[in-house]
Amino acid sequence: MMDETIRNILAEHGHLSVDVAKIRDEDDLYQVGLTSHASVNVMLSLEDEFDVEFPEAMLRKSTFESIAAIRIALSKLTGP
Amino acid sequence: MSTGTNIRVGMDVVAVHQVADSVARFGTRYLQRIYTEHELSSCAGSPTIRAAGLAARFAAKEATIKVLRPVGHQPDWRSVEVRRQSGGFCTMALSGHAAELADQAGIADLAVSLTHEGDVAAAVVVALCHSGADAVEQSGVPVVPVHCGGAE
């Protein structure tokens, strides 16, 4: 469920150059067109969907570099 | 021979309509997460004009971060501020983690130029560094010393 939501958000806000369905969990999102500005929109949308707030310490490129990385970040924010 | 003075250059391009979309979609939360009060007050006018100014400022922030070369967490977007001066030109003001990164890099001065035309906004940032670290970190060949021009 979390992965599906992440993929939907990336499809809507990521402005990626490839179909999100074809992206593997570990693929580098910046290599398929994710920009800094798009990553802000992705972050804000993730906050809306999961009712969390990304702290400054998590505002690093690596947080949004892949679907797997986003999932790990969200897991830290949402808890077990 | 190296004097320990070198430059860094960063640039970025942002699509104006994407900023307009962000303002429409996320509103105040987007604006307050990214821009300072000064930046928001500097970008008045119609939604289109405002979005162009904000997009240029976002490009300047990203260009500055490229100059700062952070390893690990990024500076808060608001700690990299575009200051509009009374003469109409802009300068960069750093605070917090961004200022720390500038200190570590020996950045003594930053110059910025913003532009927007149609759906494209862009910014170039030039940093004058005194650390000398960059002069040898890439190739071992000293960098020719240069002088930075103004931001106008």
CB pairs under 8 A between A and B: 43
Q: What is the distance between the alpha carbons of residues B61 and B2, in angstroms, rounded to a whole number?
A: 30
Judge whether A37 and A14 are in contact, CB under 8 Å: no
> Could you tell me the pTM of the whole model?
0.85
Q: Which CATH number fits the domain that encloses residue A36? A: 1.10.1200.10
Instruction: Give the residue from A15, A17, A34, A44 with the most B CB atoms within 10 Å of its CB, the best one to mutate.
Output: A44
Q: What is the distance between the alpha carbons of residues B34 and A67, in angstroms, rounded to a whole number?
A: 23
Per-residue model confidence as pLDDT tens digits over A15-67: 999 999 999 999 999 999 999 999 999 999 999 999 999 988 888 888 999 99
Does B22 contact A57 at a Cβ distance shorter than 8 Å? no
ipTM: 0.85
Judge whether B123 and B16 are in contact, CB under 8 Å: no
Does A41 contact B25 at a Cβ distance shorter than 8 Å? yes
* Domain range enclosing A11: 2-78
Domains along chain B with CATH numbers:
6-137 (3.90.470.20)
B-chain residues near A35 (CB < 8 A) = 14
Tell me how many domains chain A contains: 1
Q: Which residues pair with A34 in a beta bridge?
A: none
- Tokens 């003594």 locate to B108
pLDDT (tens, 9 = 90+) of chain B, 152 residues, equals: 556 789 999 999 999 999 999 999 999 999 999 999 999 999 989 999 999 999 999 999 999 999 999 987 789 999 999 999 999 899 999 999 999 999 999 998 999 999 999 999 999 999 999 865 554 444 443 333 333 333 33
One-letter amino acid at B16 equals V
Between CA B141 and CA B150, with CA B145 as vertex, the angle to 5 degrees is 140
The token duo for A3 is 């992965």
B-chain residues near A36 (CB < 8 A) = 12, 58, 62, 65
Q: For the stretch A37-61, what's the b/e string if a residue is b when 16 or more beta carbons lie within 10 angstroms of its beta carbon? A: bbbbbbbbbbbeeeebebeeebbbb
**Which of B30, B62, B74 lies at the smallest CB-CB distance from A44?**
B30
One-letter amino acid at B66 equals K
